[in-house]
Structure formats: C-alpha cells, structure tokens
Amino acid sequence: MKKKFIASLLYILLILGFMTGCSHQQAIDLKTGDYIQFGKYNAVPILWRVINIDEDGDSLLFSDKIICFK
C-alpha cells in the first residue's frame, strides 16, 4: 500500500514537472524575411528564414542551408 502511494506521488510530481517545463515559451514578433537561429544538426546551429506568416500568426520557416542529403 505504501509503495503504491509513493509511486503515485512520484508519477504526479513527474507529470507536473513536465507541464511546468513546457510552459516557458517566449513570443517573438517575426516578419517575412526575418532570420532566426534555433536547433542544431551535427552540432552546427541551424539558421531559418521566415517565408510566410498565415492569418493565425503561425510562421513557415525554411532552412538557410541544406540540412541533410538522403
């Protein structure tokens, strides 16, 4: 009984930790043609260009360089 309680408590704390960790997003005011750097591929930062912004304010990004050949 005590093990189930501790396991349940740890599970709840784990879920709460994930929820609070994902809520720290910062809004950025982007315009078409702007560049933004985020993410890495083979330890090299990726530079993205905003090529379109829809009515909802969602940005369509295009990488500045080819990321991978397949």
- pLDDT digit of tens for each residue in the chain (70 aa)? 777 778 877 777 777 666 555 555 677 788 999 999 988 988 889 999 999 999 988 899 999 888 887 7
Tell me what pLDDT residue 18 has: 63
Decide if 37 contacts 45 (C-beta within 8 A). yes
Tell me what pLDDT residue 33 has: 93
Tell me what pLDDT residue 67 has: 83
Number of domains into which the chain is organized: 1
pTM above 0.85, yes or no: no
Strands 35-41 and 44-53: antiparallel
**Structural domain of residue 56, as residue ranges?**
2-63
Is 10 inside a domain boundary? yes
Is 69 inside a domain boundary? no
Is 68 inside a domain boundary? no
Is 49 inside a domain boundary? yes
